[in-house]
């Protein structure tokens, strides 16, 4: 069982990292393998909608997005961590997520997702909502916790004082582990639910 964690912050040892590390400690105690990718200090450009990924199965920009794709394919769960910038996830993680989800065509169905946000003060739930939408358009169940998945701080030391935030991270990792296990069992016992495809109603004929 494996979880891929993405840190959208430019700070590998900042507030978002402190939250993700709290989760990693629980995953490791539960025997879940983890891989943490540092995304936010990389030069990640946005999607240009060239659709070359439809032919090639990978993004035309050959960077960390294409390196992350096979790790995501193998993972049972994905955690997206982001600092809050002007009440949204930061631009780097949004560019990364748009390109990762759009360019990869393997099934994400029943991989468990969790979004984690870090803010000094505000904009947390709006950012949390944005990140959860990558999961909910992809047939990915969303793990939840005992509060919305957020920590507060301007520095990692602040986050270490946010006892409720850290508790939320630990409970989130436990719930995520449980979901991944029951989904693995359910896949064996019942198979995955059928997913209909094909309807794509953007009304190009204007009717
Ligand atoms: C450009 C920018 C915009 C920010 N906007 C917000 C904001 O809207 N709300 C907030 O509470 N903190 C805001 N912050 C502060 C960070 O989100 C916050 O300190 C976060 O915990 C930093 O996480 P990190 O150490 O993982 O980078 C902003 C920081 C930057 C650099």
CB atoms within 10 A of CB 198: 4
> What CATH number is associated with residue 47?
3.40.50.360
CA gap 75, 53 in Å, rounded: 21
CA gap 92, 96 in Å, rounded: 6
Task: Compute, in degrees rounded to 10, the torsion defined by CA atoms 150, 182, 174, 2.
Answer: -80
Q: Tell me, using a 6 A CB cutoff, whether residue 153 lines ligand 1.
A: yes
Q: What does the pLDDT read at residue 207?
A: 63
For 103-136, the DSSP string reads H--S--TT-EEEEEEEESSS-HHHHHHHHHHHHH
Task: Answer yes or no: are the C-beta atoms of 40 and 90 closer than 8 Å.
Answer: yes
Q: Is residue 199 part of a domain?
A: no
Q: What does the pLDDT read at residue 201?
A: 87
Partner residues linked to 33 by β-bridges: 2
Ligand 1 atom at shortest distance from the alpha carbon of 121: 11
pLDDT greater than 90 at residue 202: no
Measure CA 17 to chain center: 14
pLDDT greater than 90 at residue 167: yes
Q: Is residue 151 part of a domain?
A: yes
C-alpha torsion sign, points 94, 145, 181, 129? negative
Q: Is residue 67 part of a domain?
A: yes
Task: Answer yes or no: are the C-beta atoms of 63 and 95 closer than 8 Å.
Answer: no
Strand 150-152 with 88-89, pairing: unpaired
Q: Which of 21, 119, 127, 162 to mutate to test the pocket of ligand 1 (most atoms within 8 A of CB)?
A: 119
Q: Is residue 31 part of a domain?
A: yes
Task: Express as a percent the part of the chain with pLDDT over 90.
Answer: 95
CA gap 78, 113 in Å, rounded: 5
pTM of the prediction? 0.97
pLDDT higher at 44 or 202: 44
Identify which of 117, 109, 99 has the alpha carbon closest to the alpha carbon of residue 137: 109
C-alpha torsion sign, points 157, 3, 78, 92? positive
Q: Which of 7, 21, 84 to mutate to test the pocket of ligand 1 (most atoms within 8 A of CB)?
A: 84
Q: Is residue 159 part of a domain?
A: yes
For residue 92, how far is its CA from the centre of ligand 1 (angstroms)? 13
Partner residues linked to 89 by β-bridges: 84
Q: Which domain holds residue 8?
A: 2-190
Q: What does the pLDDT read at residue 38?
A: 98
Task: Answer yes or no: are the C-beta atoms of 44 and 95 closer than 8 Å.
Answer: yes
Ligand 1 atom at shortest distance from the alpha carbon of 152: 21
Q: Is residue 100 part of a domain?
A: yes
Q: Tell me, using a 6 A CB cutoff, whether residue 39 lines ligand 1.
A: no
Q: Is residue 157 part of a domain?
A: yes
Q: What does the pLDDT read at residue 130?
A: 98
* DSSP single-letter state for residue 144: -
pLDDT tens sequence across 83-131: 999 999 999 999 999 999 999 999 999 999 999 999 999 999 999 999 9
Q: What does the pLDDT read at residue 200?
A: 86
Task: Express as a percent the part of the chain with pLDDT over 70.
Answer: 99
How many domains does the chain fold into? 1
Q: Is residue 19 part of a domain?
A: yes
pLDDT greater than 70 at residue 11: yes
User: What is the band of 204 on the pLDDT scale with cuts at 50, 70, 90?
Assistant: confident
């Amino acid at each position: 069982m494996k979880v891929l964690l993405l840190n959208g912050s430019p700070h590998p040892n900042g507030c978002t990292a402190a939250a993700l590390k709290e989760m990693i400690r629980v995953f490791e105690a539960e025997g879940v393998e983890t891989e943490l990718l540092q995304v936010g200090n990389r030069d990640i450009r946005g999607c240009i909608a060239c659709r070359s990924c439809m032919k090639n199965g990978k993004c035309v920009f050959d960077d960390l997005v294409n390196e992350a794709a096979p790790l995501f394919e193998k993972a049972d769960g994905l955690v997206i961590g982001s600092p809050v910038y002007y009440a949204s996830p930061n631009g780097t993680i949004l560019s990364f997520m748009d390109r990762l989800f759009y360019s990869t065509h393997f099934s994400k169905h029943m991989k468990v997702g969790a979004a984690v946000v870090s803010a000094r003060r505000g904009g947390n739930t709006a950012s949390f909502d944005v990140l959860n939408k990558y999961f909910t358009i992809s047939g990915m169940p969303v793990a939840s916790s005992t509060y919305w998945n957020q920590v507060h701080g301007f520095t990692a030391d602040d986050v270490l004082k946010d006892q409720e935030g850290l508790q939320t991270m630990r409970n989130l990792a436990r719930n995520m582990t449980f979901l991944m296990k029951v989904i693995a069992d359910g896949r064996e016992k019942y198979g995955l639910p059928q997913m209909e495809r094909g309807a794509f109603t953007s009304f190009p004929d204007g009717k």
